[in-house]
Amino acid sequence: MKKPLLKELWEKLWKRPTAKWLLGIPMGAFLFLGLGAGGLLTFNVSMQMTNSNEFCVGCHIGMDTVVEEYRESIHYKNVHGLSASCADCHVPEPFLEKMETKIRSGIKDVYKKYWVKDINLENFESEHRLRLAEHVWKTMDEQKSSTCMKCHDVAKMDKDKQPGRAARRHDPVFWEESGKSCIDCHTGIAHKRPFVQN
């Protein structure tokens, strides 16, 4: 009686190979699996670390005033004890957008901080604040304020507890028809609005 094909394959797979070089195949597979798992773990840890406030503060303290403003904002301390991190607002959720933001902005920020050193406390407000704020607003507008929507869902807002204008603008129908996003009305929430020079 002939052995079932699956059993025969299983026995061949675990049988000691006749040629010594064949031992490298399962060893290579286990090595590849170990390296893959290690790489995935390293990637996930680095994503968590670069999403932490400590990581963001490491560059922004001493370079500008955004950390101090954030720590005084409702996004950091409020009556509910909830806190949005820097990444909650500035890093999108979808993987490709997240990676693009981390790579593009990360490389540029590191370059500006450690090589060019052109942004500092003395020139931040007068030379860089408005340009950087407009860049963030534009990015958030292009993403339809998707990072805001992680916490704020207009469909779940209690309109009866909002002033008339806010209730109308938070109506999902108005939201879709107007093409507006959170950032169109809510600049200056976590960081002060820059002074526009004429």
Q: Which of 40, 73, 70, 31 is nearest to 53 (CA)?
A: 70
pTM attached to this predicted model: 0.74
Q: Look up tokens 């534009």; give the residue.
A: 138
16-40 burial: b if 16+ Cβ within 10 Å, else e? eeeeeeeeeeeeeeeeeeeeeeeee
65-86, pLDDT tens digit by residue?
A: 899 999 999 999 989 898 999 9
In the chain, which residue ranges form alpha helices assigned H by DSSP?
5-14, 24-50, 53-60, 66-71, 86-90, 95-110, 129-142, 146-149, 164-169, 172-178, 182-185
The CB-side HSE value for 179 (13 A sphere, CA atoms) comes to 1
Residue 85, pLDDT score:
94
**Can you give the residue ranges of every domain in the chain?**
31-185
Q: Do 136 and 179 contact (CB within 8 A), yes or no? A: no
**How sure is the predictor about 17, in pLDDT bands with cuts at 50, 70 and 90?**
low
Residue 13 to residues 6, 25, 29, Cα–Cα distance (Å): 11, 11, 13
Mean pLDDT (whole number) for 180-194: 88
Alpha carbon distance 36, 193 (integer Å):
45
Give the C-alpha separation, 145 to 93, whole Å. 11
Instruction: Give, in order, the Cα–Cα distances in Å from 29 to each of 26, 42, 59.
Output: 5, 20, 41
| 111: phi then psi, degrees, rounded to nearest 5 | -60, -45
Which CATH number describes the domain made up of 31-185? 1.10.3820
Q: What is the pLDDT of residue 198?
A: 47
For residue 112, name the pLDDT band (cuts at 50, 70, 90): confident
